Amino acid sequence: MRKIIKIDESLCNGCGECISACAEGAIELHDGKARVVSDSFCDGLGACLAVCPQGALRIEEREAEQFDEMAAKEHLKAAGPVGRAGLNQHQGRHECAGAVSPCTAPISMKREGGMNRMEKKGESGENELCGWPIQMRLVRPWAPYLQGSRLLVAGDCTAFAYPAIQQDFIRGRVALVGCPKLDETEPFVEKLAEILRQNEIKDITILHMTVPCCSQLLELVAQAVSRSGKDVPVKSHVVGIEGKLASPDER
């Protein structure tokens, strides 16, 4: 009998926060849910509990294999660079890299010598993304590509409604996307505020649809800026459902 992590899959939304917090690599995503891959990899100390936004993790006491530190290290080693445990420092803050899932691992995408190229139907185009992930709730506030950057905070639908978004808005900016109607607003605001606190952000461009629910992005960004205590210039643009762009709004 020993203490070990239990994950309530009915509450888990697959955000991956617990994966990043687990330095032993005991948790992985399977079918969109976090699961303990082996009892022997889990030390039962519960470093992952505090980061779960859904409250899906708890400690239980049950019969389980003993924690095997060497086996956990071998597991991380086999997982490669993305899954390797480590302790990185950025701006005086420690990040427990743990077994970071590919969808949440901070990745700088710009390469020396130009933009990333995408080929389609015999034509070349430019992928202007400079960092991954782009979903606000998955972004790590201490990701290196955020430092000294210009931000684009965009509604989910804008990329589909406005064809030139790569060249007109993503180029030269770090893209962060979300939906005020579908996302929980408090975590959205706090995540953006933390990004502003930890990084010197030059300015923020908001791109939202003309529909009322999407225009709430303006208020969410304003709350985050105020909460961060930083003075960051904000400009907004509106996309109509027909794909046309309205005049910018200076703030």
Q: Where are the domains of the chain?
A: 2-96, 107-250
Classify domain 2-96 at the CATH class level: alpha beta
pLDDT tens digits, 30-63 = 888 999 999 999 998 887 887 788 889 999 999 9
Which is more confidently placed, 187 or 110? 187
Percent of the chain with pLDDT over 70: 79
Give me the CATH code for the 107-250 domain, please: 3.40.50
Rounded Cα distance, 61 and 90, in Å: 36
200: Cβ contacts below 8 Å, ≥ 6 apart: 147, 148
Q: How far is CA 91 from each of CA 160, 198, 200, 211, rounded to the nearest angstrom?
A: 36, 7, 11, 38
What is the pLDDT at residue 237?
Answer: 95
pLDDT tens digits, 92-120 = 333 333 334 445 556 676 544 444 544 44
Q: CA-based angle 202:206:208, to the nearest 5?
A: 170
Q: What is the dihedral of CA 99, 90, 156, 82, to 10 degrees?
A: -20
Q: Which of 117, 81, 102 is nearest to 29 (CA)?
A: 102
Give the residue-averaged pLDDT of 218-244. Answer: 95
Work out the burial of residue 13: count CB atoms within 10 Å of its CB; fewer than 13 is exposed, 13-18 middle, 19 or more buried. Answer: middle
Rounded Cα distance, 149 and 151, in Å: 6
Rounded Cα distance, 138 and 158, in Å: 19
Percent of the chain with pLDDT over 90: 50
Determine the 3-state secondary structure of 238 from DSSP. Answer: strand
Q: Which of 5, 87, 76, 100 is nearest to 46 (CA)?
A: 5
- Does the pLDDT of residue 83 top 50, yes or no? no
Burial track 149-178 (b if 16+ CB lie within 10 A, e otherwise): bebbbbbbbbbebbeebbeebbeebbbbbb
pLDDT band at residue 2 under the 50/70/90 scheme: very high
Contact 150, 202 (CB under 8 A): yes
What is the pLDDT at residue 171?
Answer: 93
Which H or E element spans position 175?
strand 174-178
Q: Tokens 């993305």 map to which residue? A: 82
- Does the pLDDT of residue 84 top 80, yes or no? no
Rounded Cα distance, 31 and 164, in Å: 33
